[in-house]
Amino acid sequence: MQTKRKDDELWKVTNPRTVLSTPVMNVLTSEVVCKRNGKTKDFHRLDFSSWVNIVAVTTEQEIVFIRQYRFGSGQLEVEIPGGAVEKGEDPLVGGLRELLEETGYSGENGKIIGKVCPNPAIQDNFCYTVLVENVRKTTEPQLDDMEDIEVFTIKCEELPDLMRNGSIQHGLVLNALTFYAMSIPDFFNKE
């Protein structure tokens, strides 16, 4: 196994600048020099806040899901609650906030069970997976102006089939459910 080299031994990044600002992200560019061969190229990066997905499990072993329209895919998507972590906000706090806002559910024992970089080739953010247990509906959802969310639950034992058959297509949701599944012995081997 090779020893991992430090990033600064391979790459020199200079002249960072924002080329586009939107309400949900910024597009940044920098001149990047590969120290191995001396070649220079402009690279672009999407600058997002961190995100969070919430696996909310009821006492009846059901997971809270949502269905909402996604502009990117142009269709309704089956997802778990989630959203952006606000600047300076702890991801766990953000996850509990998003769960309550989108679904009206709250629960106990909230904890982060996973963290990934959604696309390190062009993004700089992380997506955290929060597990919340013993959730129950405690209030009405507080939706943003452009949210129209259907809330429903799915029995935990149905998840492996839904994950395999393509009913859930959102990659970060599948990632979060995999973190959850890894915490349950024989999750994918149940008959």
Domain parsing of the chain, residue ranges: 7-47, 51-185
SS3 of residue 181 by DSSP:
helix
Q: What type of residue is 86?
A: E
Quote the distance between the C-alpha of residue 138 and its chain's center.
24
Report which residue type is found at 46: L
Query: How far is it, in rounded angstroms, from Cα 53 to Cα 179?
Result: 11
Judge whether 51 and 126 are in contact, CB under 8 Å.
Answer: yes
Residue-wise pLDDT for 69-118, tens only, equals 999 999 999 999 999 999 999 999 999 999 999 999 999 999 999 999 99
Query: Which stretches of the chain are assigned E, i.e. beta strand?
Result: 11-21, 26-34, 40-47, 51-58, 62-70, 75-79, 82-84, 105-116, 127-137, 150-155
- Checking if the pLDDT of 183 tops 90, the result is no
The answer to whether the pTM exceeds 0.75 is yes
Of the chain, the end-to-end C-alpha distance in Å amounts to 40
Read off the pLDDT band of 3 (50, 70, 90). Answer: low
Q: Is the pLDDT of residue 65 over 70?
A: yes
The residue ranking higher by pLDDT, 11 or 135, is 135
Nearest CA to 55 out of 148, 149, 137, 175 is that of 175
Q: CATH class for domain 51-185? A: alpha beta
Average pLDDT of the chain, as a whole number: 92
